[in-house]
Amino acid sequence: REAVATLLDVHGYQILNQGCFNADPHPGNILVVQDENNPSKRPKIGLIDYGQVKRLNTEERVRIAKLILSIADKESDEAIAGHFRNLGIRTKTDSTRFLAEFGRLMFGSFEAKHLDHRWHRELHEQDRVLYFPNELSMVYRTALLLR
């Protein structure tokens, strides 16, 4: 648990504070490093292969943070959709419910309904994404790989 929390903290710090992060944190790019001279010492995490790095400017980081916080704080559909729109996402009908549910799917807690194909079909019958911001896609990829 401690290693996972550290991994999430490091990536959150890279994305939201530094604005430069590894967008490919799959298990092959994460090492557990044991101190050979002191085996009783807690192992450290080693992050390798920064071949897929994304940079975010301050404005992008703030907009992404607002979206993620609105989802974590269980804000209204209108608030979440507004933060999503501020990032530049465009959909066919600009459905507030679709944007809020899509945001919760991407950055919210995993729910059983997310495994239901009908739920996804119904969601995508409401609206469809026409443009998805590149900076957000790399943050989402990172979050998805860390889940």
Which tens digits make up the pLDDT trace of 51-68? Answer: 889 999 999 999 999 999
Distance of alpha carbon 49 from alpha carbon 103, whole angstroms: 29
pLDDT (tens digit per residue) in 34-44:
888 888 888 88
Cβ–Cβ < 8 Å for 11, 53: no
Give 53-56's long-range contacts (Cβ < 8 A, gap of 24+): 53/20, 53/21, 53/22, 53/23, 54/20, 54/21, 54/23, 54/135, 54/138, 54/139, 55/19, 55/20, 56/15, 56/19, 56/20, 56/21, 56/135, 56/139
Distance of alpha carbon 14 from alpha carbon 101, whole angstroms: 26
**Highest mean predicted confidence (pLDDT) among 3-7, 33-37, 122-126:** 122-126
Question: Residues of the chain with pLDDT > 90: what percent?
Answer: 78
The reported pTM is 0.88
**Average pLDDT over the chain, rounded to whole?**
93
Q: Which residues are 45's β-sheet partners?
A: 32
pLDDT at 140 over 90: yes
Cβ–Cβ < 8 Å for 46, 31: yes
